[in-house]
Structure 1
Amino acid sequence: MSRPTYHHGDLRRAVLSAALDVIAAEGPSALSLRDLARRAGVSHAAPAHHFKDRAGLLTAIAAEGFDLLATSLAAAPDLRERGVHYVRFAVGHPAHFQVMFQPELLRPDDPDLVAAKARADAELRSGGVERSPSADPTLMGIAAWSAAHGFATLLLTRNLDRPLDGRDPAETFRELTHMMFGPAQ
């Protein structure tokens, strides 16, 4: 049986896509450059030209994830909706989400990662504090991020399957923020 050959000209994207599939199905610990090369139909050394090693690949995934998160958050008008967009991002990009918040897997000084994290952080912080203008904005941001991240993590680890019982996660999160913080102003 012949191996499929790589024809589409974007090995970097092909390896990233295959890596995201593996992570979504089996987690980041299952990732192997050799396996990804086999899936792409290229030599085992080919992915190393783009990523050097596993940490480089995971760092590229995290940087892409933070860029996608920043874009998603930028579309939200306020802090509450940024939380809803955060949850939607986690549901839509579970493999990115798994990798982004595991710094031990990444090269923390990678320039692309540093820049992408800064963009996402800026978007997280730019939501404003519409409910309590006298509150410390840093603490409000931490509280909002903690709530959204905790909810998203529980959701992705399937700990909310029974309680949500098929309800839309983003809408449920919106309802939770209403219950916790009152109606948006």
Structure 2
Amino acid sequence: MAKNRAASTDAGSAYHHGDLKRALVSAALTLLTEKQDWDFSLREVTRVAGVSHNAPYNHFVDKRDLLAAVAAASHEMLLARMQAAATSVDARDAAGALAAIGEAYVHFGTENPARYRLMFGTALVTSENDLPPIVAESAARAKTVLRDIVLRGALDGTFAVSPADAEAMDLAVLSAWSIV
């Protein structure tokens, strides 16, 4: 009997991760990078992650939910690159920081085309034209980097927008995001 329990523990250990959710997102990112598309199945994700085929349902409702987590992780990666780019130039150079962010954004898209399409395409958009909250929140965090640069430029006169005009600031941030 002890042998069977040990055998089942050994066999079951492949299914127990310290962070199953992260392992599944990582496996999905691996497949997304390999295939350059998200036409893989949840079963393929579990195979790459080394977990049971039912494991994703402990954290994700369905494949779309997993893809939303992948898109959110991708937005966080883009955010990190944008922050690094913004701090790579003189803090007083808002125009230079904006250019560096734009360059980082373009490099991210060319280095990660499938991630980029998932993040900014229509695959995750609902019939109400909304994104899953996890994606919308991570995308908003990335836009805060732009907002900070636009605000800095507005305050020092580099950009012709009033920092007190919330609507004009929103439009300036949208313009900065869209110009790339």
Superposition map of 1:11-30 within 5 A: 11-30=20-39
Deviates more, 1:124-133 or 1:12-21: 124-133
Superposition map of 1:80-119 within 5 A: 80-91=99-110, 93-105=112-124, 108=130, 110-119=132-141
Stretches of structure 2 that go unaligned for 5 or more consecutive residues are: 1-10, 88-96, 162-167
How far apart, CA to CA, are the structure 1 residues paired with 2:124 and 2:60?
14
Q: Deviation at 1:101? A: 0.8
How far apart, CA to CA, are the structure 1 residues paired with 2:112 and 2:70?
11
How far apart, CA to CA, are the structure 1 residues paired with 2:111 and 2:28?
16
Q: Deviation at 1:6? A: 4.7
Q: TM-score, normalised by structure 1?
A: 0.63
Q: Deviation at 1:7? A: 6.0
User: C-alpha deviations, 1:11-66, integer Å up to 9, x for none?
Assistant: 22222112112111213332211111122232211112111211101110111122
Q: Deviation at 1:144? A: 4.1
Partner secondary structure for residue 47 of structure 2: helix
Superposition map of 1:57-72 within 5 A: 57-72=66-81
Partner secondary structure for residue 105 of structure 1: coil
Whether the 8 Å CA contact 2:33–2:114 is kept in 1: the answer is: yes
Whether the 8 Å CA contact 1:73–1:82 is kept in 2: the answer is: yes
Tell whether 2:51 aligns with 1:42. Answer: yes
Q: TM-score, normalised by structure 2?
A: 0.64
Instruction: Give 1:134's aligned residue.
Output: 160
Whether the 8 Å CA contact 2:72–2:135 is kept in 1: the answer is: yes
- Specify the code of the residue in structure 1 equivalent to 2:134: D
Q: Highest relative contact order (Cα 8 Å, sep 6+), 1 or 2? A: 1
Q: Deviation at 1:91? A: 4.6
Aligned match for 2:145, one of 120, 123, 128: 123
- Shift in alpha-carbon separation, 1:133–1:38, aligned structure 2, 3 A: closer
Q: Deviation at 1:139? A: 5.6
Larger Rg: 2
Superposition map of 1:147-166 within 5 A: 147-148=179-180
- Specify the code of the residue in structure 2 equivalent to 1:50: H
- Shift in alpha-carbon separation, 1:95–1:29, aligned structure 2, 3 A: closer
How far apart, CA to CA, are the structure 2 residues paired with 1:138 and 1:88?
25
The count of residues paired between Structure 1 and Structure 2 equals: 146
Stretches of structure 1 that go unaligned for 5 or more consecutive residues are: 149-185
Q: Deviation at 1:98? A: 2.7
